[in-house]
């Protein structure tokens, strides 16, 4: 499993790990929502990720969030499932380097 190296400003060293941990919690919430066929959760979480990922240096999180929000609005559960898997994979492989 190849690591994804993300360079982040050292000013974010105290909060970046918490941000990543919260995205792990999002994965669990998304899986639960998919089981319940609840599209509101991926819409809200996607919107939040879209707005926050790049601010922390995680551009991939922003892109996943953007696509997830769009998929939720379109009622596309299959895409939400694929994007949840993509987020989970990203989180498992991301390695933060502070500059």
- Over residues 45-74, the pLDDT tens digits come to 999 999 999 999 999 999 999 999 999 999
Domain residue ranges in the chain? 4-98
What mean pLDDT, rounded, does the chain reach?
Answer: 96
CA distance readout (Å), 3 to 17, 64, 91, 94: 16, 18, 10, 6
d(CA 25, CA 22): 5
Domain 4-98: which topology? Answer: 1.20.120
Share of the chain above pLDDT 90, in %: 98
Q: What is the pTM of this model?
A: 0.93
d(CA 31, CA 27): 6
């Amino acid at each position: 499993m190849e690591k994804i190296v993300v360079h982040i400003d050292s000013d974010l060293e105290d909060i970046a790990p918490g941000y990543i941990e919260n995205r792990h919690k999002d994965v669990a919430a998304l899986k639960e929502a998919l089981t319940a066929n609840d599209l509101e959760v991926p819409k809200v979480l996607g919107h939040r990720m879209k707005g926050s990922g790049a601010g922390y240096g995680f551009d991939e999180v922003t892109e996943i969030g953007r696509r997830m929000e769009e998929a939720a609005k379109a009622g596309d559960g299959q895409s939400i499932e694929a994007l949840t898997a993509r987020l989970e994979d990203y989180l498992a492989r991301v390695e933060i380097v502070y500059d």
